[in-house]
């Protein structure tokens, strides 16, 4: 096998990924990783490394079995977890017709966390519904569950904005729920890999934001993404339907749909919240989901309700223009199934939330007294919308400034915040985080206008 994909395997070695994963792990290790509770980075690396390898292997086996014309892929594609870097999934193609698909550990962790939250919502709202409370109280209890998931998602988004990485979401689901969450998380990793295989199969070699049709509408890349999603869901449904032939198993179509939903929303639910400006390479999650949903004729009403509840939670978490309901935060520590990183306590979350969602004018006034002369000049220029001047300090060398100002490129909040954070010692005598967030929000007012749907 290796002889036929030499270049792909060589590339994996350059990335520090061995050809064979020798290390092993215990079932307890896997459970702690899938529950988001593991702390040992080596264990997390091993479990995630095997996750993509096994998921890729199963998809390839299915291709050989079901689609003879695509059987060649088995000998040509190598799937691995990229153990460092930010959330991403990508593929490389080489001159010997070999390909490498890389899913980052950060993305896999995000898929696991989102699957657990989704099942938490299912369990918690289900418990509320079957309780002996009267109808109105049951509805209130269900809404409280949605509120708790909103708080958990807000925690994830704030963590990403402020630290540049998604924080852990340790969770304690009951055994049966955890099993289902695990199935969905693994299915979501498979969906991402199948999506990348689809790009290879359909020869999608480069991103392009040119219009797909002359009359405008979706870009070429957006159309390709929808095609890849659709192909990936078809493959996943076939694979999981085979698995679900075991008695008592959840129907494969259902697990495949939940997996695709989790993958798409885990990757992009945060997009509007953590991106100052999005690009036109990928359609929004809502559009991607709408296309996939049509592929399955009839979804159960209960499943639709749960997805709607999850989308409502997401919409609430993403609304940085509104102050977050303070009473929702304590549930992250008092609910026995939910959890947050110890280093991020509720006081820090409330402070971060105030910086990110408080009235901007008020925050500018509050931070003004601690600005140095340079800081005051910068904030003044940002308020005026003089981006070339005000971003010059964080945008050097020049190509970086050009990228920041380029309306076709996606720009994360945390990238700007990092830049302002670096210059904060000469611009403020106060809290560097407060300065960086205020400056980022001021810049974002002008930069986000660069994207026009």
Partner 1 sequence: MSLEPNPALELYIGMDDETLLAELEGALLGRGPGFGPSDVDQAVRFASDWLDQRTEEFRQLLCGNVRVRLEHGGGLDKLTDAAVVADALQALLGKPTAYIVAVILLRRGLNGLCDTAGH
Q: How far is the CB of 323 from partner 1 (least distance, A)?
A: 27
Q: How far is the CB of 100 from partner 1 (least distance, A)?
A: 8
Q: Alpha-carbon distance 308 to 305, whole Å?
A: 5
Residue 228 binds to partner 1 (criterion: CB under 8 A)? yes
Among 26, 406, 422, 426, binds partner 1 (CB under 8 A): 406
Q: Which helix (H) or strand (E) holds 275?
A: strand 275-277
Beta-carbon contacts of residue 92 (< 8 Å; ≥ 6 apart): 8, 11, 99, 100, 102
Q: Choose between 87 and 357: whose C-beta lies nearer to partner 1.
A: 87
Among 195, 238, 307, 446, binds partner 1 (CB under 8 A): 195
Pairing label, strands 216-219, 211-213: antiparallel
97: left (phi > 0), else alpha (psi -120 to 50), else beta? left
Sole window of 59-67, 169-177, 398-406, 437-445 interacting with partner 1 (rule: CB under 8 A): 398-406
Residue 86 binds to partner 1 (criterion: CB under 8 A)? yes
Residue 107 binds to partner 1 (criterion: CB under 8 A)? yes
Q: Choose between 174 and 402: whose C-beta lies nearer to partner 1.
A: 402
Contact 382, 130 (CB under 8 A): no
Q: How far is the CB of 22 from partner 1 (least distance, A)?
A: 20
Residue 415 binds to partner 1 (criterion: CB under 8 A)? yes
Query: To 10 degrees, what angle do helices 175-201 and 41-66 make?
Result: 60
Q: Alpha-carbon distance 52 to 148, whole Å?
A: 30
Contact 433, 348 (CB under 8 A): no
Q: Which residues pair with 147 in a beta bridge?
A: none
Of residues 417-446, those binding partner 1 (CB under 8 A): 418
Which residues in 87-193 belong to E strands, given as ranges?
A: 89-93, 99-104
Total residues binding partner 1 (CB under 8 A): 53
Among 178, 352, 412, 423, binds partner 1 (CB under 8 A): 412
Among 25, 91, 155, 320, binds partner 1 (CB under 8 A): 91
Backbone angles phi and psi of 333, in degrees to 5: -110, -25
Among 5, 38, 51, 102, binds partner 1 (CB under 8 A): 102
Kindly write out the interface string for residues 244-283 of this chain, putting x where it contacts partner 1 by CB under 8 A and - elsewhere: -------------------x---xx--x---x--xx-xx-
Degrees (nearest 5) of the Cα angle 34, 35, 39? 90
402: left (phi > 0), else alpha (psi -120 to 50), else beta? alpha
Backbone angles phi and psi of 446, in degrees to 5: -90, -35
Q: Choose between 128 and 166: whose C-beta lies nearer to partner 1.
A: 166
SS3 442: helix
Q: Choose between 120 and 289: whose C-beta lies nearer to partner 1.
A: 289
Q: Choose between 60 and 263: whose C-beta lies nearer to partner 1.
A: 263
Residue 361 binds to partner 1 (criterion: CB under 8 A)? no
Q: Alpha-carbon distance 77 to 175, whole Å?
A: 35
Residue 87 binds to partner 1 (criterion: CB under 8 A)? yes
Q: Choose between 62 and 194: whose C-beta lies nearer to partner 1.
A: 194
Q: How far is the CB of 87 from partner 1 (least distance, A)?
A: 7
DSSP summary character for residue 428: B
Q: Choose between 171 and 318: whose C-beta lies nearer to partner 1.
A: 318
Contact 187, 259 (CB under 8 A): yes
Q: How many CA atoms lie within 13 A of 178 on its CB side?
A: 16
Residue 105 binds to partner 1 (criterion: CB under 8 A)? no
Q: Choose between 26 and 88: whose C-beta lies nearer to partner 1.
A: 88
Sole window of 47-55, 188-196, 314-322, 353-361 interacting with partner 1 (rule: CB under 8 A): 188-196
* Nearest residue to 155 via CA among 294, 305, 71, 273: 273
Residue 301 binds to partner 1 (criterion: CB under 8 A)? no
Q: Which residue ranges make up the site for partner 1 (CB under 8 A)?
A: 10-11, 14-16, 82, 84-93, 100, 102, 107, 192, 195-196, 199, 204-207, 221, 224-225, 228, 263, 267-268, 271, 275, 278-279, 281-282, 397-400, 403-404, 406, 409-412, 415, 418
């Amino acid at each position: 096998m290796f002889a036929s994909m030499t270049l792909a395997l060589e590339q994996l070695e350059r990335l520090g990924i061995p050809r064979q994963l020798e290390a092993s792990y215990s079932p307890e290790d896997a459970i702690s990783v899938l529950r988001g509770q593991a702390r040992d980075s080596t264990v997390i690396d091993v479990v995630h490394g095997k996750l993509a390898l096994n998921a890729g292997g199963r998809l390839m086996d299915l291709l050989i079995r079901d689609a003879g014309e695509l059987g060649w892929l088995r000998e040509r594609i190598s799937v691995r977890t990229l153990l460092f870097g930010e959330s991403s999934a990508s593929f490389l193609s080489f001159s010997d017709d070999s390909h490498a698909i890389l899913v980052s550990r950060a993305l896999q962790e995000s898929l696991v966390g989102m699957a657990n939250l989704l099942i938490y919502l299912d369990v918690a709202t289900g418990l509320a519904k079957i309780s002996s409370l009267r109808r109105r109280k049951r509805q209130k209890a269900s809404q409280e569950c949605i509120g708790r998931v909103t708080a958990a998602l807000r925690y994830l988004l704030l963590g990403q904005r402020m630290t540049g990485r998604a924080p852990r979401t340790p969770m304690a689901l009951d055994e049966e729920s955890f099993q289902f969450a695990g199935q969905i998380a693994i299915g979501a990793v498979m969906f991402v890999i199948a999506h990348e295989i689809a790009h290879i199969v359909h020869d999608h070699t480069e991103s392009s934001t040119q219009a797909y049709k002359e009359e405008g509408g979706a870009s070429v890349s957006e159309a390709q993404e929808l095609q890849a999603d659709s192909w990936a869901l078809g493959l996943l449904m076939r694979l999981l339907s085979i698995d679900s032939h075991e008695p008592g198993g959840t129907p494969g179509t259902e697990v495949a749909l939940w997996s695709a939903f989790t993958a798409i929303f885990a990757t992009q639910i945060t997009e509007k919240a953590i991106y100052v400006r999005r690009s036109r390479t990928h359609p929004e999650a809502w559009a991607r989901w709408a296309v996939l949903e049509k592929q399955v004729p009839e979804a159960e009403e209960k499943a639709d309700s749960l997805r709607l509840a999850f989308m409502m939670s997401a919409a609430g978490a993403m609304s940085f223009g509104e102050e977050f309901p303070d009473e929702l935060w304590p549930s992250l520590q008092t609910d026995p199934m939910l959890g947050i990183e110890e280093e991020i306590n509720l006081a820090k979350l409330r402070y971060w939330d105030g910086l990110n969602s408080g009235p901007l004018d008020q925050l500018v006034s509050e931070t003004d007294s601690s600005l140095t002369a340079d800081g005051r000049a910068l904030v003044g220029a940002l308020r005026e919308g003089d981006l070339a001047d005000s971003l010059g300090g964080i945008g050097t060398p020049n190509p970086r400034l050009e990228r920041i100002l380029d309306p076709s490129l996606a720009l994360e909040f945390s990238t700007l915040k990092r830049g302002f954070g670096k210059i904060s010692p000469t611009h403020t005598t106060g809290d560097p985080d407060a300065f960086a967030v205020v400056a980022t929000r001021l810049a974002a007012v002008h930069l986000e206008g660069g994207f026009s749907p």
